[in-house]
A and B are shown apart, each in its own frame.
Chain A
């Protein structure tokens, strides 16, 4: 029988079958691979993430800080005698989250000991920039952060 003869590479029935199997394998791999890869690498937006952050002013206590999440950032709302201030909690040194020390009225970074005033200016520590202020507006007795 002629089919017992070894086939030339790339042609004949065996070559055709191999090509078909290869194509089907590739198609199946793509069919499974595309959803899986797209699932794994997607960075989906959180529901309501782009909504402005609203905090009623009467919920703030003078001299104390309130921590909020806003667009994946941790922000600190500080009620000072001159009115509220909003800072990004990320330390300008290496990005640790600073905390408000109510007793001493300063921000302290837990990582490398940077200290900031209530206005966000550097007091001491391995850092040269002040805390980043976040712009906000006050409307209907609420602090609204949109930008």
Chain B
């Protein structure tokens, strides 16, 4: 404990960490009427961070090509120490993240928090919901199981109903006519870099907006 305090003190004298923590965490005041339902946004972020971290771990062994994808996931689950846990946390948290995001939205909608001056909070939040769903959808294909394959097949078929440009969208999403190794590579790129980077940018905006306007006081 002494050692920790000495190290912390060294940093604190140079960078004044304590006032920062007091202002933003320990002495931060939130409206008294704010209940536990206000936690879902933070929980969504927490689960996102869990996903990023477990995703990094899975990336140590996952191989994004049709010949090896299923084997590599099975390998993680059965041979890597604690791999079953990391893989399962990643899968279950994906579902939980969607649940948390929807609960967060339900609270915002119920208390009408989206009204002026917070309209853009809502808009950026809807973008975040979409990105979360894309993350879940692209991740679903990666283990290359029957469920993944047919899930991606059905999912990418949906835009085909759009007149005129529908088929082109389907082909663009699949990188070709059918679900193939090309699709897997594309979904992998979306899942581990493109969407997480985009979602982080939107989260940053979302949080900055809340800081700027302050949290809404329930009536």
Contacts and interface: CB of A to CB of B under 8 A. Distances in A.
Task: Please determine whether chains A and B interact with each other in the same assembly.
Answer: yes
Interface of A: 34-36, 38-42, 44-47
Contacts of A39: 57, 60, 80-83, 86
B79 interface: yes
Given A35-B82, A35-B86, A40 B75 contact: no
B85 interface: yes
A34 B82 CA distance: 9
Interface residues of B, number: 12
A25 to B, nearest CB: 12
Contacts of A35: 82, 85-86
26 contacts: A34-B82, A35-B85, A36-B57, A36-B86, A38-B81, A38-B82, A39-B60, A39-B81, A39-B82, A39-B83, A39-B86, A40-B57, A40-B60, A41-B81, A44-B75, A44-B79, A44-B80, A44-B81, A44-B83, A45-B79, A46-B75, A46-B79, A47-B71, A47-B75, A47-B78, A47-B79
Nearest to A41: B81
Given A35-B86, A39-B81, A44-B81, 14 more contacts: A35-B82, A36-B57, A36-B82, A39-B60, A39-B82, A39-B86, A40-B60, A42-B81, A42-B83, A44-B79, A44-B80, A44-B83, A47-B75, A47-B79
Interface of B: 57, 60, 71, 75, 78-83, 85-86
Instruction: Provide the main secondary structure of the chain B interface.
Output: helix
A35 to B, nearest CB: 4
Nearest to A36: B57
Contacts, number: 35
A50 to B, nearest CB: 13
A34 B86 CA distance: 12
Nearest to B79: A44
Nearest to A39: B82
B61 to A, nearest CB: 8
B21 to A, nearest CB: 15
Contacts of A41: 81
A44 B57 CA distance: 14
B2 to A, nearest CB: 12
A50 B91 CA distance: 31
A39 B80 CA distance: 6
Contacts of B86: 35-36, 39
A36 B55 CA distance: 12
Most buried by B among A36, A45, A46: A36
